[in-house]
Amino acid sequence: MALTTNRLSVDHRLLHHLIVHQILPTGGGYAKLSRMQVFLMWCILSKIEFCFPLLMLKTMVRAFSQKKSVLPFGSILTKVFLHCHIPLEGENATKLKKEDTYNKSTLNLIGWKKQQGIWTYLPKADQALRIAREEQEDNPPWEAQE
């Protein structure tokens, strides 16, 4: 059975959200955990160091090899370039629409609601079929699509 995010605790679900949006950005398909996402969660929870620059580089190479992709880590790279005084003249600047903040609304957006002081996962009604299907799948987490 594939490891899915709806089976994660609120802490692990928030950590997964941070990983897929900040540490290892991916486009869509956040319901299943990839091997790399599980590995990163394990490293973070176990306080095991990993080489983030190498992870960034491998993520950018993987994105470049796909047909439809954008360069991940754009805002981080811009800050690094500016800090190192690398000229960016001639580059088209893109203003980001929002900054990611993590608070109660983030948890509500990913399906967690606080009821009587306890965070509980309450999926939307239209997700019930998807969740039931994911729970019936026979793929182990290491064979989940990345």
Which of 3-12, 16-25, 33-42, 122-131 is predicted with the least confidence, judged by mean pLDDT? 122-131
Average pLDDT of the chain to the nearest whole number: 78
pTM of this prediction?
0.63
Residue with more model confidence, 85 or 115? 85
* pLDDT over threshold 50, residue 131: yes
pLDDT the model gives residue 39: 93
Stretch 64-87: mean pLDDT, rounded?
Answer: 84
Query: Residue 78, exposed/middle/buried by CB under 10 A (0-12, 13-18, 19+)?
Result: middle
